[in-house]
Structure 1
Amino acid sequence: MTVFSSKPTLTGDLVVLRPVTEDDVPALLPFFEDAEVARLTGSHRIFTEAELRDWYGSRGGTDDRLDLAVVERATGRVVGEAVLNEWDPGNESCAFRIAFVPDAVGRGLGTEATRLIVGHAFEALGLYRVWLEVYAFNPRARRAYEKAGFTAEGVLRGALLWEGQRVDATVMSVLAPEWAPRP
């Protein structure tokens, strides 16, 4: 059994994070179909609904990552996903990523979802480091990550080729000793 074998439900004031399923695909499709979301996440691939159903349908059986649907409490609507992946057990670390459907941004849902899943990584799973990459053309996300406690570590120069332009990615992390739940 690994740290990601258990698929928890995490509850905040604004959102509930729960295991993602293939039934969530219709709600998540807008972020896979949105050109701006693709740009901000650096996603070059276009997925079919069938591929997404297969992927999300398999998440409950994985033990090397944690994929959670972000559900807005006020509406009960699935508005995004929060993921811990690239688990490195020898170094007690993992990567984090989060994505939202376009109409769910700017309301504090991502900040709370980030705090819930990163808190889970440290407090329940005993991890030491959670890291992420954010592209230079996504300053709003970088501010949100800083607000959640992440610190810039360095820059991966020219990490993304987007529409003929090279874009830097900033590596950010938060360490367990630095973590304190924020209001």
Structure 2
Amino acid sequence: MADDDRGVAIPRFRTKPTLDGELVLLRPVTVNDVAALTPMLRDAQVRRLTGYRGDPGEAQLRAWYGSRGDQEDRLDLAVVEKATGQIVGEVVLNEWDADNESCNFRIAFVPDAHGRGLGTEATRLIVGHGFTRLGLHRISLEVYAFNPRARRVYEKAGFVAEGVLRDALLWEGERVDAVVMSILAPDWFKNSRT
């Protein structure tokens, strides 16, 4: 928490930064990003890998993305591929637990944006921001067993498997485990120096 000019505690998540990497730029997501992000939400493979079952209409998406900048307990950033200037996905820190200095992380990309290191860099950028600027101690996530590509990205960024939520997802008649992973601030700072 930080204090505003009246001495009132405000969450650090209120500030929506722009984070600049070599391959990607992370910037606050806006209502104007709906068209670029809609393919991510409609793609069958993305929906399967993330367990996403929603089917929001354009009005719902515009309301959702239009309100992200007002959220004080989460951070939603668009992932922009610097080489093309195209929005290729989103990264989110959510489920903020101020008492325990922790939150959840999730990431999703539009079809055909994989395999170029964009997800790895975007993950490292937002995790680094969480530890260095937001004062988080722990960032966690869940990844489904049928998404080994995502798990490799998380491991490259320093996430460690903590356990398995057995049969956590029922997807088209198949029960799928979810692996719980996390990264702690001391580990991040130790590994970022090497």
Q: Percent identity?
A: 72
Aligned length: 183
Query: Any gaps of 5 or more consecutive residues in structure 1?
Result: none
Q: Structure 1 residue 8 and structure 2 residue 17: aligned?
A: yes
Q: Is the 8 A contact 1:94 1:131 kept in 2?
A: yes
Alignment match of 2:28 (pick from 7, 19, 23): 19
CA distance in 2, matches of 1:126, 1:64: 13
Match of 1:50 in 2: 59
> Which of these residues, 167, 176, 181, is aligned with residue 176 of structure 2?
167
What pairs up with 1:12-161 in 2 under 5 angstroms?
12-161=21-170
What is the DSSP-based 3-state SS (H/G/I as helix, E as strand, rest coil) of the residue aligned with 1:102? coil
Say if 1:182 and 1:17 are closer, same or farther in 2 by CA, change over 3 A: farther
TM-score, normalised to structure 2's length?
Answer: 0.92
Tell me the TM-score normalised to structure 1 length. 0.98
Cα gap change, 1:33 to 1:63, in 2 (>3 Å): same
Give distance in 2, aligned partners of 1:85 and 1:3: 13
Aligned-pair distance for 1:29?
0.8
Counterpart code for 1:127: L
Cα deviation, 1:15-40, whole Å, max 9, x if unaligned, reads 00000001001000111110000000
- TM-superposed CA distance for 1:181, in Å, is 3.1
User: Per-residue deviation at 1:161?
Assistant: 0.6
For 1:45 and 1:81, the matched residues in 2 are separated by: 16
Distance in 2, matches of 1:163 and 1:45, equals 15
* Letter of the 1:181 counterpart: S
CA RMSD in angstroms, aligned pairs only: 1.1
Distance in 1, matches of 2:173 and 2:106, equals: 25
Pick the structure with greater CA Rg: 2
SS at match of 1:126: coil
* TM-aligned CA deviation for residue 54 of structure 1: 0.5
> Distance in 2 between the 1:75 and 1:165 partners?
38
Deviation at 1:171, TM superposition (A): 0.3
